[in-house]
Structure 1
Amino acid sequence: MNGIGFLTVVVCAVAISAMANRRGWPGPLIVVAVAALVAFVPGLPRMELPPQLILAVVLPPLLYSAALDLSFVSFRRDLLAIASLGVGLVVFTALAVGAVAWSLLPSLTVAGALVLGAVLAPSDAIAAVALGRRSGVPGRIMTILTGESLVNDAVALVAFQLAVAAFTGFPPFIHQPVLLAAYSTSAGVLIGLVVAGVVHLVRPRLHDPALETVLGAVVPFVAFLAATEVHASGVLAVVAAGFWIGHHSADAAFATRLQSRQVWRSTDLVLEAFVFAYMGLQVPLILQAATGNGVGPGRLAATIGIVLLVVVVARPVWIMAIMRITGRRLPWRFAAVLSWSGMRGVVTLAAAAAVPAVTVTGAPTADRNLIQATAVSVALLTILLQGATLPPLVHALHLSDVAERRRANADLARALRVARRAAHEVTQRASASGDGIEAATMALIERRVAHVLTATPHNLEDLREADRPGPTTNELVQQILARQRQALIQERDLGRLDDEVLRAVLQQLDYEEAAASTDLRTRL
Structure 2
Amino acid sequence: MNAFPMLMLVAGSAVVAGLARRTPVPAPLLLVTAGLAASYVPGIPGYGLDPHVVLPLVLPPLLHTAALDSSYLDLRANMRAVMALSVGYVLFATAAVGLIAYAVVPGLPLTAALVLGAVVAPPDAVAATAIARRVGLPSRITTILQGESLVNDATAITAYKVALAAAVGEGASWAGGLGEFALAALGGVGVGLALMVPLHWLRVRLTEPLLQNTLSLLIPFFAYALAEELHASGVLAVVVVGLYLGHRSWQVDFATRLQEEAVWKMVGFVLESVVFALIGLQLRVVVEGLGPYGVGEALWYAVAVLAAVVVMRFVWVYPATYLPGLVRQKMREDIPWPVPFVISWAGMRGVVSLAVAFSIPLTVRGGDFPARNLVLFLTFTTVIGTLVGQGLTLPPLIRLLKLPGRDAQAETLAEAQAQNDASRAALNRLEHLLHDPVNRLPGPLEDRLRAVLERRRNAVWERLGGVNEATGESADETYRRLAGEVIDAERAVFVELRDARRIDDEMLRTLLRRLDLEEAAAYREAAE
TM-score where L is the length of structure 1: 0.83
The answer to whether the aligner puts 1:347 opposite 2:352 as a matched pair is yes
**Partner Cα distance (2:390, 2:40) in 1:** 24
Residues 1:330 and 2:335 are matched in the alignment: yes
Post-superposition offset of 1:225: 0.6
CA contact (8 A) 2:137 2:405 kept: no
C-alpha distance in 2, partners of 1:421/1:329? 38
Establish whether residue 385 from structure 1 lines up as the match of residue 383 from structure 2.
no
Is 1:370 matched with 2:374? yes
In 2, distance between residues paired with 1:318 and 1:326? 13
Moved more, 67-76 or 198-207: 198-207
- SS of the equivalent of 1:242 reads helix
Alignment of 1:24-423 (within 5 A): 24-170=24-170, 176-290=176-290, 292=291, 294-327=292-325, 328-359=333-364, 361=365, 363-400=367-404, 408=411, 411-423=414-426
Counterpart-to-counterpart distance in 1, 2:80 and 2:454: 39
The structural deviation recorded for 1:408 is 4.4
Superposed CA offset, 1:302-325 (max 9, x none): 111011011111112211111221
C-alpha deviation, 1:439, in angstroms: 6.7
Counterparts of 2:455 and 2:79 in 1: how far apart (Å)? 36
Structure 2 unaligned blocks of 5 or more = 326-332, 461-475, 488-515, 523-528
Q: Distance in 1 between matches of 2:24 and 2:410?
A: 30
Instruction: State the alpha-carbon separation in 2 of the partners of residues 432 and 514 from structure 1.
Output: 31
Instruction: Tell me if structure 1 keeps the 8 A contact 2:35–2:281.
Output: yes
Cα distance in structure 1, aligned partners of 2:174 and 2:311: 33
- Following superposition, the deviation at residue 88 of structure 1 comes to 1.1
Cα RMSD, aligned residues only: 2.8
Cα distance in structure 1, aligned partners of 2:28 and 2:414: 33
Deviations 1:367-410 (A, max 9, x none): 111111111111111111111111222233343257x7787457
Distance 1:407 1:317, change over 3 A: farther
Q: Secondary structure at the match of 1:22?
A: coil
Shift in Å at residue 415 of structure 1? Answer: 2.5
The CA distance in 1 between the partners of 2:423 and 2:432, in whole Å, is 14
1:341–1:386 CA contact under 8 A, matched in 2 = yes
Query: How has the CA–CA distance of structure 1 residues 460 and 438 changed in structure 2, closer, same or farther, with 3 Å as cutoff?
Result: farther
Contact 2:123 2:349 in 1 (8 A): yes
> For residue 312 of structure 2, what is the amino acid of its counterpart?
A
For the 8 Å contact 1:90–1:156, the answer to whether it is kept is: yes
The one-letter code matched in structure 2 to 1:429 is: H
Whether the aligned pair in 2 keeps the contact of 1:199 and 1:216 (CA below 8 Å) is no
Q: Is the CA contact 1:204–1:252 (under 8 Å) kept in the aligned structure 2?
A: yes
CA distance in 2, matches of 1:121, 1:174: 18
Structure 1 residues 61 and 405, CA, compared in 2 at 3 Å: closer, same or farther? same
**Which residue identity is paired with 2:296?**
G
**1:296/1:515 CA distance change after superposition, 3 Å:** closer
User: Residue 386 and residue 515 in structure 1: after superposition, are their counterparts in 2 closer, same or farther (change >3 A)?
Assistant: closer
SS in 2 for 1:68: helix
Moved more, 113-122 or 315-324: 315-324
> Cα offset for 1:13?
0.9
Contact 1:161 1:172 in 2 (8 A): no
In 1: Cα distance, 2:232 partner to 2:174 partner: 11
Q: CA–CA distance in 2 between the matches of 1:122 and 1:289?
A: 24
Identity of aligned residues (%): 38
Distance of 2:442 and 2:87 partners within structure 1: 61
Contact 1:343 1:383 in 2 (8 A): yes
Alpha-carbon displacement from aligned partner over 1:134-163 (angstroms, at most 9, x marks no partner):
222222211111100111110111100000
Relative distance call for 1:254 and 1:85 in structure 2 (3 A) is same
Distance 1:357 1:254 in 2: 51
1:402-441 Cα shifts (integer Å, max 9, x gaps): 7x77874575345324312321221221233244346775
Question: 2:315 and 2:31 mapped to 1: Cα distance?
Answer: 31
Counterparts of 1:431 and 1:42 in 2: how far apart (Å)?
Answer: 72
Give the Cα–Cα distance (whole angstroms) in 1 for the partners of residues 14 and 405 of structure 2.
33
Verify the 8 A CA contact 1:174 1:180 in the aligned structure 2. Answer: no
CA contact (8 A) 2:321 2:340 kept: no
CA distance in 2, matches of 1:424, 1:5: 57
SS in structure 1 of the partner of residue 54 of structure 2: helix
Return the letter of the residue paired with 2:36: A
> 1:112·1:167 contact (CA, 8 Å) conserved in 2?
yes
1:47, distance to aligned residue in structure 2 (A): 0.5
Alpha-carbon spacing, 1:325–1:511, altered in 2? closer, same or farther (3 Å): farther
Contact 1:123–1:342 under 8 Å retained in 2: yes
- Distance (whole Å) between structure 1 residues aligned to residue 180 and residue 394 of structure 2: 36
Deviation at 1:110, TM superposition (A): 1.1
Question: Which of the numbers 445, 451, 454 marks the counterpart of 1:447?
Answer: 451
Q: Distance in 2 between matches of 1:431 and 1:377?
A: 67
Tell me, in whole angstroms, the C-alpha distance in 1 between the residues paired with 2:167 and 2:119: 13
